[in-house]
Every structure is written in C-alpha cells, then in structure tokens.
Amino acid sequence: MPITEFLSRNAQLYGEEICLTEINMDLQESHNVTWLEYELIENNPAGEYRRELTWCVFDEKANRMANLLIKRGIKKGDKVAILLMNCLEWLPIYFGILKAGAIAVPLNFRYTAEEIKYCLGLSDSIALIFGPEFIGRVESIYNQIPQVKTLFFAGEDRPSFAENYDRLSANCSSQDPRIEISDEDDAAIYFSSGTTGFPKAILHTHRSLMSACYTEQNHHGQTRNDNFLCIPPLYHTGAKMHWFGSLLSGSKAVLLRGVRPEWILKTVSEEKITNVWLLVPWAQDILDAIESGQVDMEDYELSQWTLMHIGAQPVPPSLIRRWKKYFPYHLYDTNYGLSESIGPGCVHLGVDNIHKVGAIGIPGYNWKAKIVDENGLEVDQGQVGELAVRGPGVMKCYYNDPEATAAVLKGDWLFTGDMARMDEDGFIYLVDRKKDVIISGGENIYPVQVEDFLRAHDAIKDVAVIGLPDSRLGEIAAAIVELKPGFECTEEDIKAFFAPMPRYKRPRAVIFDEVPRNPTGKIEKPRLREKYGATSLVAAQTEAEQLIR
C-alpha cells in the first residue's frame, strides 16, 4: 500500500486535529515578543512565528500540489526536486509529488549551486520547487539545467525566472487525483552524504517508505497521544522516517527551526513534546548548558518527555551516562541506518536494552544483519568485519549507476561499508567506517574506539580521529579535539589521559580545533583530512618519530 493512503486515511479520521506545528525561534527572538503576542502581530512580512496544520489541510495541500504537477505535464515516474528549509510546506509538497505518481527528489539545503546542478542532472529531475533561501544559488544555474522545465518558487518576492507555487497550487483542485500507485513503483531519490566526492542518487520504492513507517512505529510505539519533536533536516531520510511513525499513528509532530538548548527545552515544555530525536552534538549542548547554568531545568515542564533517541553517528556511552543523570526517567534508544536502507532502524538498541549502551543494537523490525569478511563470509563472534543488512527498506539501486550498485548490493544484502563486531548476546558494536580505518605500521586503528575513549575526558566536547600520512608507518592517528566552553586543556593533558590505551592506538598528534559535522550530525572527516593532511605532515612525522623512540 503506498504511503499516501495513510495521509488520506488520517484526513478522514482526524481531519480537524492538528498534525504539524512549525516553530521558528529566530523569528520570535528577532521581534522580542512572547509566543502568544507574536501570533497577534499584523502584516508580518516574515510569516508567523508559530504555524499549525490540520490533517485535512495537509491532505488538501498535497492534493493541490499533485494536481498542479499533473496540469504541468508531470507524469508518473518523472522526478521533482525539493530545495526547502524545514517548514510547514515541506511535507505537503513531498506527499503531493508522491500523489502525482512522480518521484520526490529532496536536496540538501547546504548544497552549493554546482552540487544542486549536479544532483538535478544525476536524478533526471524535470521540475524543482525551491524556497527564498536558495534564490541566489538557483539563479546562478537555472540557464544551465535545460532538463528542468519547471521552476516553482515557494515564498514571497518571487524571482522573475520562477513561477509562484503558492498562487498556482491554490487554484488547483483539492481532490485526490487518484493516480494508481503500487508498492513496487519508484517513490523517492535521496542522496548519499558525498564523503568520497559528489553524492550518489539512492532510489527507493513505495515499499521502502512503508517499511520505514512500520519499523519506526514498532521500535518507539507512537500512539495518538504522542507529540514528536523533529529538528533535523527533512531532506534527509533520518528525520522524515522517524516522523513516519507519527503518520502511522495519526499523532502530532513539531518542526523546530533552531537547535539552541534553551529553544529545544522551551519547545518540549510549551508544546508538550513526548518524543525527541537528537543528534549527538545537540544532546551534548543541552547537557553542557545544564551543567554550566545556562539553562535551569526548573524553568521548563519536561515530565511528559519520555523518549530520547539518537542516531546518525556512533553514540559515546559517556554521553548517555551524563544524560541519565539529568533525565533518569527517559527511555533511550540508539538508531542505526543509512540512506541506502531508508534511514534509521535497520539496527537499533531498543528501549529495554540500555544496559548495552555503546552498542548500535540488534537487527530492527523486519530486518536481518550479519558481519562478514572481505570474501562475504560471516566472521566468528567477536571478530571485526563489514556489517551487511537485509530488509524491506533496502534501496532499489544507485540511480543510473550499475557499477556502484553492484559494489554494495549482493543478492538481497546491502553491504554498509561500516566495520562492526557482534557480542555473545547478538548485539552489534560499530567499530568504524571501512574507509576510515587507519592502518599504522600494519596495525588497524578504528577511530570510533579512540574517539569514544577521549570523549570521557571532562574538558572534551567533541573529538575526531583521522589518519595523517607518515613516511615510516604509512599513517598515524591524529586527534582533533574540541574543548567545552570555559575549559582549558593542553596537549600534554590529552596525552596523559589516553596513556592507558594500547600504544599502537594512541593518537600521535593532538590538534585543538572545532570538529565539523554535517546537518545530520556526521563528522566531516574529509574536511579535516583536507585541512591537515598536507600542511601538518612534517609536524606529524616528527611527533611520530619522537614517540616511537
């Protein structure tokens, strides 16, 4: 059954109930008013600070979008790209594309103009809908993308080279166009993180999207009484697939534009949030703000907040120990997934398994997993190998890239490129990305293990371990360390802290700098390698020689 039928069902059953709320904290602070006062401001050129959408209006807006596309000649199987910041319009546009039988192509809002052009071409997109934040980027390439026949602009002050989406869609029918869609029809193209160059286009079917609904709702048990706080970008599979649990249960969700700790806690308090998905940096920021006195938990009503789950990158066990100190009543879950496996959930810890914190968990609902050697054979329990997963959310292919597809899809199994091990109870521990493993003097160093060790240091906010070239050892491990605000620490302090580690695992260089992460929370190690791989080579070699002696 296509996922669009759940939207239609919710509109029939819960039509007048609020399903989505958008909170724009930057807008509220810029006017220095309370939430209630802001809703009373007239002629606000930037839009309302707090906007709501009912299930019925959500469905109607999706139908208008679908009918607009059909009127413009968009046919079943055509690709329509979305380039929007998180906003109340995002999901109705996405579902409108699906209802038209077209394929939704969400684009990363951080893409440069060249990356936008590349992804539009790679995906064969023939239409693009974009928001005001992207006028400059789209204007610089719109005459270089001849295959994109239609440009819709969502917002005020429409640029001359695009059409007004709001006005045109408002004049279209609000009735479902009733395009026949099957589970095996193509539904969406997502893009890989592009850590090895330009991203790959990941094609998913309607069956994949539905599997995400069932997996998420099974893992976290959303009911009609829940309210999910969605902070990560909707272009990514992670945020949207977690919201799919709300779609399945017919429950509320809030889109928060802003990630400051006080904004998150205020929204949880005022909107009666029960379920929050955080990235590691945001969870760390909340804890740092509490411990520094920047926020006072007594100022917020948080008792209804019962579930905190984290995904998108390895979670340091020390972070969860700190979290439980301040939120002892929270259920906790870790979610592991890839865009190639329709986002989070192919492996998850499970709310009953906090005693296994540090593991990414066990195979998720309707999923299987195994750990294999370089020949694809399962390794013995406890040994490190590549994690492979199988389930209904595995991608159909890398679009128009059979060679890349064959490299990761072997039969029904998706080879993730992540190195992992399994303990005696069947719990999987992520060791590192296959391509991030550092081979130093013939020894394998898994950066995630070193990063987890260093994050236990009281002064360290974040850390990334990368390999730097070395003429004698091939590579050495270097730790890029980001300190917590107000904390001081020297290179000697860090080296003394990791002294208990096996000698071959110890970073040979310590660099104090900010640790860059992308919008989904993953450390951007290519940026660090580019920054330090060449300029720091001589210093790193000198450091290595001194320590080896």
Q: Report the pLDDT value the prediction gives residue 27, as an integer from 0 to 100.
A: 61
Q: What percent of the chain has pLDDT over 90?
A: 62
Helices (H) and strands (E) in the chain, counts: 18, 27
255: phi then psi, degrees, rounded to nearest 5? -95, 115
- The Cβ-side half-sphere exposure at 472, using a 13 Å CA radius, reads 11
| pLDDT tens column, 489-503 | 999 999 999 888 878
Residue 119 scores a pLDDT above 90:
yes
339-368: average pLDDT: 91
| pLDDT tens column, 391-445 | 999 999 999 999 999 999 999 999 998 889 999 999 999 876 667 778 776 667 8
| Among 511, 506, 503, residue whose Cα is nearest residue 533 | 511
446 exposed, middle or buried (CB, 10 Å; 0-12, 13-18, 19+)?
Answer: buried
Residue 320 scores a pLDDT above 70:
yes
Structure tokens at 166: 């709001």
Q: Are the CB atoms for 468 and 540 separated by under 8 Å? A: yes
CA-CA distance, 431 to 450, in Å (whole number)? 10
329-354: average pLDDT: 90
Q: Give, in order, the Cα–Cα distances in Å from 361 to each of 128, 334, 364.
A: 38, 7, 8
CA-CA distance, 50 to 34, in Å (whole number)? 11
Q: Are the CB atoms for 243 and 230 separated by under 8 Å? A: yes
Q: Give, in order, the Cα–Cα distances in Å from 5 to each of 96, 411, 521.
A: 12, 30, 32
| pLDDT tens column, 245-298 | 999 999 999 999 988 999 999 999 999 999 999 887 788 889 999 999 999 999
pTM of the model: 0.81
148-163: average pLDDT: 94
CA-CA distance, 388 to 464, in Å (whole number)? 25
Q: Give the confidence band of 44 by pLDDT, cuts at 50, 70, 90.
A: very low
Q: Are the CB atoms for 544 and 471 separated by under 8 Å? A: no
> Could you write out the DSSP letters of every residue in 505-524?
GS-SEEEE----B-TTS-B-
- Kindly give, in sequence order, each residue whose CB lies less than 8 Å from that of residue 160, ignoring residues fewer than 6 positions away: none
- Kindly give, in sequence order, each residue whose CB lies less than 8 Å from that of residue 290, ignoring residues fewer than 6 positions away: 261, 297, 326
CA-CA distance, 81 to 394, in Å (whole number)? 22
CA-CA distance, 481 to 86, in Å (whole number)? 31
Structure tokens at 303: 């008792």
Alpha carbon 276 to its chain's center: 13
Q: Give the confidence band of 36 by pLDDT, cuts at 50, 70, 90.
A: very low
